[in-house]
Structure 1
Amino acid sequence: MSATAPRVRPVRPVRTRLTRGAGLGLVAWLLGLLFFLPIAWMALTSFHSESDAATNPPSFGAALTLDGYRDFFGTGGGASPWPALVNSLVASLVSTLCVLLLAFPAAYALSIRPVKKWTDVLFFFLSTKMLPVVAGLLPIYLFAKNTGMLDNIWLLVILYTSMNLPIAVWMMQSFLAEVPVAVIEAAQIDGAKLPTILARVVAPIALPGIAATALICFIFSWNELLFARVLTGVVAETAPVFLTGFITSQGLFLAKVCAASLVISLPVLAAGFAAQDKLVQGLSLGAVK
């Protein structure tokens, strides 16, 4: 009785695989350019005069000028954007630091040293994001008014910390779950205490995930508008609130708005570019088993 010969799957030609790879690469480049086109158009419009920026169809060969940037930085007699930019930077950096300090031990307890019913705890964190932000605006406004914290940058720090903390715990829990338990047990055998383990063992291993979490929280805090628009006035005005000031009863000054939008976007773009390697590693951590 002869054995049945195993079926051999045909090997796909190398040329076919190369063609498929080139096609996918071309599609990826086209999608990237499609997402980059609005940013490029905004940057080009910011260097046009208001009359050229308002033309329909748009004028690609119009003369370039820095009038929009002069108006934004207040050299033409307008308000200076530096206080708003500093307020946004303080609120974003301090709230992100607070989120990391609170989310890191919480994620450690939910992943490496899991508490009882840790999935219920994670769902509770997620449930806090199900309430629409505008639904809590009135109670927060009344609280800020009664406590004298209206137009106070530290109120925004507290709000941004509470808003980003659930997301940070969720992200860091998945990152810390990939930390080898044997490394932590070896540190415990050597006599290391919990703060030392967190700072010198867990944190270096999970650094890409921590960087990704910090960048996401920083972007969310920097771009937040609703609370900053309602709860601030002059002293604690942030950059997004300052940007809305360019929409006046006289109309929308497109070139000036594009210049302001590009300048306000630069800190987020710079942070993303500086941490792009850590961001890619962090977001892909645990994706391949």
Structure 2
Amino acid sequence: MTATAVPARTRSTEGTPPGPRRPRGRGLGLVAWLAAVVFFLPIAWMALTSFHSEEDAATNPPSFGAALTLDGYREFFGTGGGASPWPALINSTVASLASTLLVLLLALPAAYALSIRPVKKWTDVLFFFLSTKMLPIVAGLLPIYLFAKNTGMLDNIWLLVILYTSMNLPIAVWMMQSFLSEVPVAIIEAAQIDGAKLPTILARVVAPIALPGIAATALICFIFSWNELLFARVLTGVVAETAPVFLTGFITSQGLFLAKVCAASLVVSLPVLAAGFAAQDKLVQGLSLGAVK
């Protein structure tokens, strides 16, 4: 029998992997850029308006070529005789950083117990943690106010630290449980054989491996604490006033000062934007941890 020769063209193309789908990739990239522009435009518009005078900021349609000025920032920082924003900014910083640190210290052991050394019915425990976020904040506002009034904790920054810690702890435990579940158990067992105790394992073994997830959790808790308004508005007055409460003081019976509000909003947003920019690589790694097997 004579073997049938395979055409050279067929042999050369057989088994060749298909090329990349460039049109689809370009389309997704274009959509991503459009979404980024849509999300960035309000921030850019707020920044531009903050450098306008009140007369130019109130024009309709808006004036893009109006003269730029720093009057809004001068009024916000109190150089014109108004209230200084520094006490409110310091209070927000203390409440956000202290509550975030407490959340991490409490959530790390809890997530370790639910992931690496899981307890019985750990899924029910996670659901219980998450169910505490289903209660509307308004429903618990009156009891918390009465408690703070009877204990003399009204207008106290440490009351906000306790509240922010309790508010962010459930979501932190839920997030860190998924992050810590990716930590190899063999490494922990090796540390235990070497005589390491639980605090040492958490600090020197688990924390460095799960650092991206911890950074993502810390950033989200910081943002939630920094932006919280309802509790701060009701439970604080002058001493423990936070930055979001300070911003509401710009809306008076005389009207809305748009340029000043935009300047104040941009300054108050800078700590969150700076923290997100500084931790963006850890945030992306943490939020995508475990997504690719």
TM range (shorter): over 0.9
Which SS does the other structure have where 1:40 is aligned?
Answer: helix
Question: In the alignment, which residue of structure 1 is the partner of 2:19?
Answer: none
What is the CA–CA distance in structure 2 between the aligned matches of 1:241 and 1:25, rounded to whole Å?
39
2:109 aligned to 96, 105, 108, which one?
A: 105
Deviations 1:158-213 (A, max 9, x none): 00000000000000000000000011111111111111111100000000000000
**Is the alpha carbon distance of 1:51 and 1:180 closer, same or farther for their aligned partners in structure 2, counting shifts above 3 Å?**
same
How far, CA to CA, are the matches of 2:47 and 2:8 in structure 1?
A: 42
Q: Aligned partners of 1:155 and 1:197: how far apart in 2?
A: 32
Once residues 52 and 211 of structure 2 are traced to their aligned partners in structure 1, the CA distance between those partners, rounded to angstroms, is: 43
TM-score, scaled relative to structure 1: 0.93
Relative distance call for 1:48 and 1:113 in structure 2 (3 A) is same
* Residues in 1 aligned to 2:106 and 2:64: alpha-carbon distance in whole angstroms: 50
Q: 1:145 to 1:15 in 2, by over 3 A?
A: farther
User: For 1:15 and 1:24, how far apart are their aligned partners in 2?
Assistant: 34
Aligned mates of 1:93, 1:15 — CA distance in 2: 67
State the SS of the aligned residue for 2:134: coil
Distance in 1 (alpha carbons) for counterparts of 2:83 and 2:267? 15
Aligned to 2:176: 172
After superposition, the C-alpha distances for 1:80-106 in whole angstroms (9 at most, x for unaligned) are: 000000000000000000000000000
Assess, with a 3 A threshold, how the Cα gap between structure 1 residues 184 and 252 changes in structure 2: closer, same or farther: same
Task: Provide, for residues 51-109 of structure 1, a one-character-per-residue CA deviation record: whole Å limited to 9, x for no partner.
Answer: 00000011000000000000000000000000000000000000000000000000000
Distance across 1 between alignment mates of 2:158 and 2:67: 44
Distance 1:128 1:118 in 2: 16
Give the Cα separation in 2 of the matches to 1:197 and 1:104. Answer: 11
Query: Within 5 Å, which residues of 2 pair with 1:201-240?
Result: 201-240=205-244
Of the three residues 114, 132, 153, the one matched with 1:128 is: 132
**Change over 3 Å in CA distance of 1:252–1:110 after alignment to 2:** same
Which whole-Å deviations, capped at 9, do the CAs of 1:107-150 have from their partners, x for residues lacking one?
00000000011011001101100100011000000000000000
Matches of 1:127 and 1:167 in 2, distance apart?
Answer: 10
Summarize the Cα distance change of 1:197–1:63 in structure 2 as closer, same or farther, 3 Å threshold: same
> Could you report, residue by residue, the CA deviation over 1:236-281 in whole angstroms, capped at 9, with x for unpaired residues?
0000000000000000000000000000000000000110000000
- The alpha-carbon distance between structure 1 residues 24 and 3, as it changes in their structure 2 partners (threshold 3 A), is farther
Corresponding residue SS for 1:77 = coil
Q: Cα–Cα, structure 1 residues 247 and 116, in superposed 2: closer, same or farther, change >3 Å?
A: same
CA distance in structure 2 between the aligned counterparts of 1:21 and 1:174, rounded to whole angstroms = 30
Shift of 1:15: 21
Cα distance in 2 for partners of 1:269, 1:71 equals: 22
> Are the structure 2 counterparts of residues 229 and 16 from structure 1 closer, same or farther at C-alpha, using a change threshold of 3 Å?
farther
Identity of aligned residues (%): 94
Residues of 1 paired with 2:139 and 2:10: CA distance? 55
Which has the higher Rg, Structure 1 or Structure 2? 2
When the two structures are superposed, what TM-score results if normalisation uses the length of structure 2?
0.92
Q: 1:50 to 1:182 in 2, by over 3 A?
A: same
Relative distance call for 1:87 and 1:14 in structure 2 (3 A) is: farther
Q: Larger deviation: 90-99 or 181-190? A: 181-190
Q: State the Cα distance separating 1:23 from its structure 2 match.
A: 1.9
Aligned alpha-carbon RMSD (Å): 3.6
Structure 2 gap ranges (5+): 12-23
Structure 2 distance, partners of 1:86, 1:263, is: 13
Separation in 1, partners of 2:38, 2:4: 53
CA distance in 2, matches of 1:264, 1:2: 84
Deviation, 1:16, is 22
Q: Distance in 2 between matches of 1:25 and 1:15?
A: 35
Whole-Å separation in 1 of the counterparts to 2:238 and 2:175: 35
Task: State the Cα distance separating 1:4 from its structure 2 match.
Answer: 16
Q: Deviations over 1:21-61 (max 9, x none)?
A: 12211111111000000000000000000000000011000
C-alpha separation in 1, matches of 2:221 and 2:255: 34
Equivalent pairs counted in the alignment come to 280
